[in-house]
Amino acid sequence: MFNRNRCLRRVAAIASMSSLVTGCGILSSDPSDEEKPIVVGTTSAPSTLDPAASWDGSWELFRNVYQTLLSYPNGATAPEPDAASECAFTDSTNQVYRCELREGLTFSDGDPLDARAVKHSIDRIRKINVNGGPAGLLGSLDRVQAPSGREVVFHLNKPDATFPFVLATPAMSIVDPDTYPADSLREEGGVVGSGPYTLRSYEDGEQAELVGNDRYKGFAERRNKAVTIRYFKDSAAMVKALRDDRIQVTYRGLAADDIITLQGRASKEEDLQLVEGTGTEISYLVFNPEDPWAGRRAVRQAVAQVIDRAAIAHTIYQDTVDPLYSMVPKGLTGHTTGFFDDYGDPSVPKARAILTEAGITEPVPLTFWYTTDRYGSETAAEFKELKRQLEASGLFTVTLKSRPWKTYVTGYQKGEYPVFGRGWSPDFPDAENFIAPFVGDQNALGTPYPAPEITGDLLPRSRREGDRANVVKEFEEAQQILVDDARLLPLWQGKQYVAASEDISGAERALDPSTIMMMWQLYRKTSW
């Protein structure tokens, strides 16, 4: 039975993504409230405003100000048309993919968005070819054609059933050929897109002001007039801003302490809600094969044998994350527990035996790098715990170093770090996206990882199959290769938490399958 009083109580509400009740109306006495921007806080600031340069959290902004041919309407787990009116493979081998654009599309400045603009946007990604950038997503693309004003045809060099998922990533955002050069990144800043919002102003590392784009034509139904995104250095400052009503929503970067508090243990009288859902974000270590120590497989395997993931999840993250034993997270077809199956529980004697067999008898010196402002406030504590565990074994001496995200990215792309931490939120919800981006001569890490059996056999085989339930064997084999090499070491899998003021609705529907927030879903509850 519907209980109106319960809906109006000042409580901390905890709900799943799929089941949060949003029908409770909170009285809004000021009609101007609907005109005010909803202010959203995050610790994930963009590294760039140009889609050709980004294979990272900049996508959070891109999804809202640019448009892609395909995207994810609310509740969808497979891509559906957005700038396109229809898309499909036109052959039986998954090598020719055709899209027809919606009629009358324009960019926010009024320039036409046609097939030429789509071709320009995709071609420039590959021509500019930023190291660690999104060109790595287009490995199966041979060429793009624009036979007419509304028709775009993608010719692939090999079968690839996942290509529609690639086109739905914000990396494939459509840009205006008149303002985005074909062979270089846009330098003057700003955004000219065709998404649900336009970027009215942007202060690097501080905030982005979005206002509704009246020229937008796509599936998104904007439920607010404007959104301001504010970028924070840490969770504590962000949550304080939420409690002070300087922001109304947080969507990435909540620290474990703050999550526990928001779950109601210390704030039962606050007008806040916490939306909790299953996440596929992962955290992992990358070992540089060019480093004299990290490049040795025995060293990497010994590290894998010592690290206690469960202790990290419990002690540092207070069980707001789960230990992860494969690069493919739980919940996706093909997930395994390869690192646990091969290494079992943490064991110093086993790690010592691995090193001794390789002729290593002295403590191994390693330098671990992490970013100070990207993956949440616990990152520094997590790396201190990694150092403690490894040094307690007597087998390693660990030096910790860190940088802010923007300079951190440059460092790992140049191969400066022996071992470094990364996080990953999926480009699309498929096991492929937790393997393919990290292997090959060009990948999202900027660290070449040839893995010829994966890139030359297993991934091509999996891409011939449109039914992803039929490719479990290929993904299991690929994960075992990653376990054997131990160049990528998974640590934990996150859950999704969105905290919001109680008068905000839509948070439970705002995250797409890649856990990117669709700002247009947020709105203020209205009066009865």
Written as six digits, the tokens of 299 are 């060293």
- CA gap 499, 483 in Å, rounded: 36
Flag whether pLDDT at 33 surpasses 50.
yes
Mean pLDDT across 291-311 = 98
Q: What is the pLDDT of residues 39-67, one digit of tens each?
A: 999 988 998 999 999 888 899 999 999 99
Flag whether pLDDT at 485 surpasses 80.
yes
Q: What is the pLDDT of residues 250-264, one digit of tens each?
A: 988 898 999 998 887
Flag whether pLDDT at 241 surpasses 70.
yes
Specify the pLDDT at position 488. Answer: 97
Specify the pLDDT at position 32. Answer: 58
Look-up: residue for tokens 């202010």?
39
User: What backbone torsions phi and psi does residue 298 show, to the nearest 5 degrees?
Assistant: -60, -40
Q: Label residue 28 by pLDDT band (50, 70, 90).
A: very low
Mean pLDDT across 182-195 = 92
Q: How many CA atoms lie within 13 A of 299 on its CB side?
A: 24
Strand (E) or helix (H) holding 300: helix 297-306
Mean pLDDT across 427-456 = 89
Helix/strand/coil for 186: coil
Specify the pLDDT at position 269. Answer: 54
Which of 124, 102, 123 has its CA nearest to residue 113?
Answer: 102
Specify the pLDDT at position 290. Answer: 94
**Which H, E and C letters describe 269-281, residue by residue?**
CCCEEEEEEEEEE
User: What backbone torsions phi and psi does residue 500 show, to the nearest 5 degrees?
Assistant: -150, 155
- CA gap 463, 156 in Å, rounded: 12
- CA gap 339, 479 in Å, rounded: 9
Look-up: residue for tokens 């926010």?
108
Q: Identify whether the C-beta of residue 50 lies closer than 8 Å to the C-beta of residue 260.
A: no
Look-up: residue for tokens 């993931």?
309
Q: What is the pLDDT of residues 320-338, one digit of tens each?
A: 999 999 999 998 889 999 9
- CA gap 87, 79 in Å, rounded: 10
CB atoms within 10 A of CB 402: 16
What value does the mean pLDDT of the chain take?
89
Query: Poorest-confidence range of 145-159, 295-309, 505-519?
Result: 505-519
- Supply the DSSP symbol for 316: I
DSSP sequence for 98-149: EEEEPTT-B-TTS-B--HHHHHHHHHHHHHH--TTSGGGGGTTEEEEEEEET
Mean pLDDT across 336-344 = 97
Which of 370, 378, 259 has its CA nearest to residue 316?
Answer: 378
CA gyration radius for the chain?
Answer: 23
Flag whether pLDDT at 25 surpasses 70.
no
Helix/strand/coil for 30: coil
- CA gap 277, 16 in Å, rounded: 5
Mean pLDDT across 283-304 = 97
Task: Determine what percent of the chain is predicted with pLDDT higher than 90.
Answer: 71
Mean pLDDT across 462-482 = 91
- CA gap 162, 126 in Å, rounded: 18
Flag whether pLDDT at 3 surpasses 60.
no
Q: What is the pLDDT of residues 89-120, one digit of tens each?
A: 999 889 999 999 999 999 999 999 999 999 99
Specify the pLDDT at position 34. Answer: 63
Q: Name the β-bridge partners of 202.
A: 208
Flag whether pLDDT at 8 surpasses 50.
no
Longest CA–CA separation in the chain, Å = 74
CA distances from 12 to 271, 499, 508 (A): 6, 10, 15
Flag whether pLDDT at 393 surpasses 60.
yes
Specify the pLDDT at position 416. Answer: 95
Specify the pLDDT at position 80. Answer: 93
Specify the pLDDT at position 11. Answer: 32
- CA gap 211, 196 in Å, rounded: 9
Specify the pLDDT at position 132. Answer: 77
Strand (E) or helix (H) holding 517: none
Helix/strand/coil for 31: helix
Q: Name the β-bridge partners of 71.
A: 80
Written as six digits, the tokens of 302 are 């010994």
Mean pLDDT across 294-321 = 97
Per the model's pLDDT, the better-predicted residue between 59 and 467 turns out to be 59
- CA gap 517, 39 in Å, rounded: 13
**Which H, E and C letters describe 436-476, residue by residue?**
HHHCECCCCCCCCECCHHHHHHHHHHHHCCCCHHHHHHHHH
Q: Label residue 27 by pLDDT band (50, 70, 90).
A: very low
Q: What is the pLDDT of residues 192-215, one digit of tens each?
A: 999 999 999 999 999 999 999 999
- CA gap 399, 391 in Å, rounded: 10
Which of 428, 394, 421, 425 has its CA nearest to residue 405?
Answer: 421
Flag whether pLDDT at 7 surpasses 60.
no
End-to-end Cα spacing for the chain = 18
Flag whether pLDDT at 238 surpasses 90.
yes
